[in-house]
A and B are shown apart, each in its own frame.
Chain A
Amino acid sequence: MQVYADNAATTKISAAALGAMMPCYEKFYGNPSSLHTVGQEAKEVLEDCRSRMAKLLGCDAREVYFTSGGSEADNQAIISAARLGERKGKKHIISTAFEHHAVLHTLNRLEKEGFEVTLLDVKENHNITARQVKEAIREDTCLVTVMYANNEIGSVLPIAEIGEICKEAGVPFHTDAVQAVGHIAIDVKAQNIDMLSLSAHKFHGPKGVGALYCRRGLALTNVIDGGAQERGKRAGTENLPGICGMVAALEEACAHLEENTAKVTALRDKLIAGLSQIPHCDLNGDRVNRLPGNVSFCFEGIEGEALLLYLDMEGVCASSGSACTSGSLDPSHVLLAIGRVHDVAHGSLRLSLCEYNTEEEIDHILTVVPQVVERLRNMSPVWRDLQSGKREYIL
């Protein structure tokens, strides 16, 4: 049995999305910037997609900018707010310690330019409160950028409350909603969101395409210079097949949001309950405000990459925040930010579900994970020391 449980990494494209892309290769292959009929037909398709995307987000079509994905949208949103801020002498940015690297690394770049960044602590409930944001806002704050939901541990942040606080304070508010769009109901106007990043492949759309919503009145700074596409704010011939696939996927996701949420949440809760039975493990992330598909655990005494490889042999595709999977000596910054010590953070496992997963698949995961954890513990000197009392259990 092959179980794909890595939907936070990427999802399988939906039939609706794939179906919507094909005409762009076969019929609407023109360049939307071309004046001729074939180009103008493509332009019509593009603008139709923009209107439909706007409707799904609760904004105006002129506020939607298509990008190459979530990272680009995050970069552009943050850089734009920073440029607007520094013109007014405001060079302070508020974010969280467990943001995606697309946000954190952009903030690092700005820090080198002299910006000051406050990263809100996420240890309490593995989340932040709107109050923390309120207390961090200063006279010179030019941006609050807070993710909608965390990709590794599934915590869903109090976005509407933060939006209200930012609106009152007159501070632009950006949210990296890559993990939330298509999984949680979003209305940018009702939630007072000024900028929002999204990525198609996280909701059964194609890879390499995303969007940035930017409230009218907030001027974007280009991160890609060139032609006048996207109202001069993002150069490069539009990825029309990708955009069509993205919009079709999001329409489908939003149309089935309630039933998908109910189904996936039930699978998630069954998985969490089952894995919690394994001794000396702990759930990562907010237990209440949580993405429907996220299951994230730390298991004491084992290392995550070995866990993933054994699970893969049993047909389970998952991910981990261990150092060996992060490509550095340190485990995931998210796990460290929520207060996991290195020893424990190395033994993390993330299973991210979607509506394509079945109850039988959850049963399979629940059969193999305890076996693999036990197998690794049985060859681990750390586990032996824990059991003999030479080392103290953390979890």
Chain B
Amino acid sequence: MALYSEKVMDHFKNPRNVGVIDNADGVGEVGNAKCGDIMKIYLKIENNIIEDVKFETFGCGSAIASSSMATEMIKGKSIFEAMELTNRAVAEALDGLPAAKLHCSVLAEEAIKKALKDYFDRNNIPYDKKQFPDCENCQHCH
């Protein structure tokens, strides 16, 4: 199918890191069912390293592939490196997404940042709020 790159199809057919982490150290969920995309990221963090990451996604093929790729890109990395992940990097790693699907990679970045923010909040780690998407007031889905 020419709609998506081979990389996207590979991650869609065999998504990496699907599932849930019980007692996760950080959890982030973005999107809503009304607009057809929800991503949820679970993080296991030890000594500032992302030891494990899992995702659940309700969404189209590129949403599933973007979640899968994004989790692969941050697994084993430090939380500071994970903070640097951009939607563009996710889309590039997938050998590109159709223009109408770029928001899927945005959601993946936002879900990871939201999970990291959750971790910072839980552990009283100070951070700059500007680094995080304002999901509650985002117009994407409303």
Contact = CB atoms under 8 A, between A and B. Distances in A.
A177 B9 CA distance: 38
Nearest to A346: B36
Top 3 A-B residue pairs of the complex, sorted by shortest distance between their CB atoms = A305-B60, A324-B60, A343-B33
B110 to A, nearest CB: 14
Contacts of B59: 303, 306, 324
A326 B141 CA distance: 16
Interface in B5-27: 12-13, 15, 18-20
A331 B36 CA distance: 9
Interface string A208-231: 000000000000000000000000
A306 B61 contact: yes
Interface in A15-70: none
Contacts of B37: 303
A242 interface: no
Nearest to B12: A309
B36 A382 contact: no
Nearest to B57: A379
Chain A residues touching B, majority SS: helix
Contacts of A383: 58
A380 B35 CA distance: 15
B29 interface: yes
A380 B56 contact: yes
A346 B33 contact: yes
A309 B61 contact: yes
B36 A381 contact: no
Given A313-B13, A381-B29, A303 B1 contact: no
B125 interface: no
B38 A382 contact: yes
Interface string B43-84: 000000000000111111101100000000000000000000
Interface size class of B (residues with CB under 8 A): 20 to 34
Contacts of A312: 1
A344 to B, nearest CB: 9
Contacts of A382: 33, 38, 58
Contact of A381 (B35, B57, B61): B57
Interface in B70-103: 100-101
A249 interface: no
Interface footprint category on A: 20 to 34
Interface in A341-392: 341-343, 346, 378-384
23 contacts: A301-B58, A302-B58, A303-B36, A303-B37, A303-B63, A306-B12, A309-B1, A324-B59, A324-B61, A324-B101, A329-B36, A342-B35, A379-B19, A379-B55, A379-B56, A379-B57, A381-B38, A381-B56, A381-B58, A382-B58, A383-B58, A384-B20, A384-B56
B129 interface: no
B40 interface: yes
A384 B40 CA distance: 11
A342 B56 contact: no
B22 to A, nearest CB: 13
A195 B128 CA distance: 65
Q: Which of A327, A341, A378, A381 has most B Cβ within 10 Å?
A: A381
B53 to A, nearest CB: 14
A322 interface: yes
Contacts of B122: none
B130 interface: no
A329 B141 CA distance: 8
Contacts of B58: 301-303, 380-383
Given A309-B12, A381-B29, A381-B40, A329 B60 contact: no
Contacts of A378: 18
B35 A323 contact: yes
Contacts of B100: 327
B32 to A, nearest CB: 8
Nearest to B38: A381
Give the most central of A304, A313, A322, A380: most B CB within 10 Å. Answer: A380
